[in-house]
Amino acid sequence: MSLPRTPSFDLTGKCALVAGASSGIGLGCAAALAEYGAEVTLAARRVDLLTDIVDELTSEGRKARLLQLDVTDIDATAAAVAQQGPFDILVNSAGLARHSKASETALDDFDAVSDLNIRGAYFLTQAVAKGLLAAGRPGSLINISSQMAHVGGPERAVYCATKHAVEGFTKAFAIEWGKAKIRVNTICPTFILTDLTKATFEQPQKRAWIEDKIKLGRVGEVEDIMGAVVYLASDASALVTGTALMIDGGWTAE
């Protein structure tokens, strides 16, 4: 008899764009995709932060290049994606959080978080999809969302609102582009220990709240995301679209 074989996780020959690749989850995703054979364009606002990363990846024999990109500049982003693409894989890890009590939300904070987390994410995903549609190529588009896109949390009303929106347009995109074999999904991490989140974890009361919610009893690490992004980018997830991959240690199981 002929046994079934696991679909390939190999990304050789694929071109990937990772926005927000200069640190944290975005950096981890870029490294993972490069490790599995993709040619990765690492994008962020500050090119100086990307230079050392690209040098390190290429020194290991990976294929990597950098791109200065501010996804809140919609026209410039569309132009850059059109010039550099088409990209078979998108990972959008560019995001922003400004926490406050809901009764004290400042308009400037609301606008800044919304501009990046919703508007920027929407039109970046659109730009990559346009390139694939024009070329008649399939693709995998992945937005880094959050467990907070599925629950609420204190002092996180604006952040939760933006991530819920990402889940909404991800499902709509998946429906619209499915016949073109363009898959659109989200990855929803719990609290991941990075340089940006370190200040939160240094507050005993907040760390206790986080650890109580995570059923596996530990906070997340960047490495916890890397396998998931390879899975969603590869043929191993060929029938997965319009869904959210929870990497939350059981937070949302309640």
**DSSP tag of 155:** T
pLDDT of 165 reads 98
Q: What is the pLDDT of residue 211?
A: 87
- Topology (CATH level 3) of domain 15-193+221-249: Rossmann fold (3.40.50)
- The set of catalytic residues is 159
Q: What is the pTM of this model?
A: 0.94
Query: What tens digit of pLDDT does each residue of 115-145 get?
Result: 999 999 999 999 999 999 999 999 999 999 9
Extents of the domains making up the chain: 15-193+221-249
Q: Of the candidates 15, 67, 27, 38, which has an alpha carbon nearest to the alpha carbon of residue 192?
A: 27
Give the per-residue pLDDT at 1. Answer: 86
Contact call for residues 233 and 142 (beta carbons, < 8 A): yes
- Nearest CA to 92 out of 73, 116, 109 is that of 116
Low-confidence ranges of the chain (pLDDT < 50): none
